[in-house]
Homo-oligomer: A and B are copies of this chain.
Amino acid sequence: MMIIHLHLKTKGSDGISTEFGTSRDLDGTNDISYNITYNKPDTDVKKGIKKPFTEVIKANIGDAHAMGQRPITFLRQVVALCTYPNLLDSPSFPEDAKKRARRILQGCGGNSLGSYSASQGINCIREDVASYIERRDGGVPADPDNIYLTTGASDGIATILKILVSGGGKSRTGVMIPIPQYPLYSAVISELDAIQVNYYLDEENCWALDVNELRRSLNEAKTYCNPKVLCIINPGNPTGQVQNRKCIEDVIHFAWEEKLFLLADEVYQDNVYSEGCQFHSFKKILYEMGPEYYNNVELASFHSTSKGYMGECGYRGGYMEVLNLHPEIKGQLVKLLSVRLCPPVSGQAAMDIVVNPPVPGEESYSQFIKEKESVLNNLAKKAKLTEDMFNKVPGVHCNPLQGAMYAFPRIFIPSKAIEEAKAHKMAPDMFYCMKLLEETGICVVPGSGFGQREGSYHFRMTILPPVEKLKILLEKVKDFHIKFLEKYA
């Protein structure tokens, strides 16, 4: 385990001191933790060790509020009303928010957010999730019984993987994951002693998923394990691609053919920016392919309060919809969930508002839509800006950011830099990212934390900083990169 401590400044007495813990994008094998403490710029930093920057910009984590995005007013109003029901009498809260809060509280034991809920989540919220899915998927039916509220998507993904993994030796469960991947997957697979089976996304083709590559990967894996689960992240993290309809059909057909459990990580379903791209849920396409598919393919799909336009990471809200689960496995799932009692109830309430936002005609609708579209339009603008800027830098190539909230540019690292990295026992892109941090204060995550084709190097940067800050950041990365190329030419 490699931990890099970059203490820029310890806590001052007057400064607002915020410690940013570890970079949470950890890989089972390369544990890259930045431990950064920073204070108000222009005061304490200058008193500390001289650094060529006055502020650390954390572009390493998909955490919108930490980057200054404001919460969606309606969501917070409802959660505040549920938290402190005296506010239900306050004239300063809108009626539609009160209506939502009353509904949620009626679903809580003793009408309190402080009761344990059923382990699967509050009934009426699961009903709201099911209605949301039906609307999203153009009427394809959704059964609240198949919905499980979770402690963020992380918890859902880890739980499902846990009940699917079994066997020993050559019959140990293999779990297919994209490379590059979101490192929750490799970490959980390693925790569970399952077998990680890599399939590579096609960088030359906008990080598309190719079924031939799935087949290659599966066939290879069959020689050393029992591959049973196929994980897909759509829209992609860290790669930002949005899968087209045909690709999803191919994947579903493949899973059906090979009897693979499909795990569709769809937490970025609201984050689609590129013209011509559209989010298609696996569930919807599965139903459109007919009963032979929708009665047989096992599918778990995940959503979260953390991403989208609301960015409520701290609430740890999420749900999963699970289809065609074998009754015995379902029994295990229910049991596992019940041991942990229940997901945080305020997170369940937040999830409810994500799936049941104000509708036209309601008092809060216009403000809600304004806030939502402002976030999404900004993200779309920043996605384009980032792609364009990166592609102007020599030695950098960046695929379109079709969705999600990250750029994952490919960077050329000169061989002299690779040698120096080796001398420091660092992955070359780790070396690059450390230099970037030391010289500019910009914190990004090396591609090696996500996995990449041998010999290629990347980093992941969020597009969450406000537009003006993002522009400065991109300029700084550009200048740094050019100097880096010169230095190691």
Binding site for B on A (CB under 8 A): 1, 3, 16, 18-22, 24, 26, 31, 33, 61, 63-71, 76-77, 79-80, 83-84, 87, 90, 92, 106-110, 112-120, 123, 151-152, 154-155, 158, 183-184, 187-188, 191, 306, 310-316, 331, 334-336, 338-347
Q: How distant is A353 from chain B, measured CB to nearest CB, in Å?
A: 12
Q: Which residues of B contact A152 (CB under 8 A)?
A: 340-341
Q: How far is the CA of A190 from the CA of B183 in the complex (A)?
A: 27
Asked whether, in the complex, the Cβ of B83 is within 8 Å of the Cβ of A26, the reply is: no
Docked Cα-Cα span, A1 to B332, in Å, equals: 9
User: How many whole Å from A267's CB to the nearest CB in chain B?
Assistant: 12
CB distance from A92 to the nearest CB of B (A): 8
Contact status B339-A154, CB under 8 Å: yes
> Are A112 and B347 in contact, with the CB atoms below 8 A?
no
Asked if A114 and B335 sit within 8 Å, CB to CB, the answer is no
Tell me, rounded to whole Å, the shortest Cβ–Cβ distance linking A41 to chain B: 16
Given known contacts A79-B83, A341-B152, A344-B347, is B22 in contact with A315 (CB within 8 Å)? no
Contact in complex: A345, B84 (CB < 8 Å): no
- Copy number in the complex reads 2
Complex interface: chain B residues within 8 A of A16 (CB) = 106
Q: Is the CB of B340 within 8 A of A22?
A: no
Whether A315 lies near B114 (C-beta < 8 A) is: yes
Closest chain B residue, CB of each to CB of A120? B21
Chain B residue nearest to A334 (CB atoms) is B22
Given A80-B83, A151-B151, A314 and B22 touching (CB < 8 A)? no
A26 near B113 (CB under 8 angstroms)?
A: no
Q: Which of A107, A115, A155, A191 has the most CB of B within 10 A?
A: A115
Residues in chain B near residue A154, CB distance under 8 A: 339-341
The CA of A338 and the CA of B114, in the complex, are separated in Å by 26
Whether the pair A191, B1 counts as a contact (CB closer than 8 A) is no
Q: How far, in angstroms, from A262 to B306 measured CA to CA in the complex?
A: 36
How many angstroms between the C-alpha atoms of A19 and B3 in the bound complex? 47
Question: A68 to chain B: which residues have CB within 8 Å?
Answer: 110
Q: Is the CB of B338 within 8 A of A21?
A: yes
Q: A80-B80, A84-B80 are in contact. Are A344 and B316 (CB under 8 A)?
A: yes
Residue ID in chain B nearest A83 by CB atoms: B80
Report the separation of the CA atoms of residues A361 and B133 in the bound assembly, to the nearest whole angstrom.
52
> Which residue from chain B places its CB closest to the CB of A71 in the assembled complex?
B114
Contact B83 A314 (CB under 8 A): no
Question: In this complex, what residue of B is CB-closest to A347?
Answer: B344
Q: Is B115 touching A191 in the complex (CB atoms < 8 A)?
A: no
Residues of B within 8 A of A347 (CB): 344, 346
Determine if A24 and B84 form an interchain contact, defined as CB atoms under 8 angstroms apart: no
Q: B19 contacts A118, CB within 8 Å?
A: yes
Residues of B within 8 A of A341 (CB): 24, 152, 154, 313, 316
- Given A114-B314, A191-B339, A344-B314, decide whether A65 and B151 contact each other with a Cβ distance below 8 A: no
Interface residue from B26, B64, B80, B339 paired with A335 (Cβ < 8 Å)? B26
The answer to whether A20 touches B63, judged by C-beta atoms less than 8 angstroms apart, is no
A-B pairs with beta carbons under 8 Å apart, 15 shown = A1-B331, A1-B335, A22-B118, A24-B116, A24-B338, A24-B341, A63-B115, A65-B114, A80-B87, A116-B306, A117-B314, A187-B335, A191-B339, A315-B345, A316-B342
Query: Which of B66, B76, B87 makes the CB contact (< 8 A) with A110?
Result: B66
A106 CA to B31 CA, complexed, in Å: 28
Q: How far is the CA of A33 from the CA of B479 in the complex (A)?
A: 62
Nearest B residue to A62, CB-CB: B116
Name the B residues within 8 Å of A112 (CB-CB): 65-66, 70-71, 314
B66 x A116 contact (CB < 8 A): yes
* 8 closest cross-chain pairs (CB), A and B: A21-B118, A66-B109, A314-B345, A80-B84, A65-B112, A344-B344, A65-B114, A66-B115
Q: Which residues of B contact A313 (CB under 8 A)?
A: 114-116, 341
